[in-house]
Structure 1
Amino acid sequence: MDPTSRPAVVIDNGTGYTKMGFAGNVEPCFITPTAVAVNESFSDQTRATAKGNWLAQHSAGVMADLDFLIGEEALARSRSSSTYSLSYPIRNGQVDNWDTMEKFWQQCIFNYLRCDPEDHYFLLTESPLTPPETREYTGEIMFETFNVPGLYIAVQPVLALAAGYTTTKCEMTGVVVDVGDGATHIVPVADGYVIGNSISSIPLTGKDVTQFIQQLMKERGEHIPPEESFDVARRAKEMYCYTCSDIVKVNLISMTGSPQST
Structure 2
Amino acid sequence: MPIAGRDMTLFIQQLLRERGEPIPADQSLETAKRIKERYSYVCPDIVKEFKKYDTDPDKWIKTYKSVNPVTSQPWQCDVAYERFLAPEIFFSPEMYSSDYLKPLPVLIDEMIQSCPIDTRRGLYGNVVLSGGSTMFKDFDKKLKKDLKKIVDRRIQRSAVDIDVVSHEFQRYAVWFGGSLIGNSPEFVTACVTKEQYEEYGPSICRQSKVFAGV
Scaled by the length of structure 1, the TM-score of the pair is 0.27
Q: Which has the higher contact order (CA 8 A, sep 6+)?
A: 2
Scaled by the length of structure 2, the TM-score of the pair is 0.31
Greater share of helix residues, 1 or 2? 2
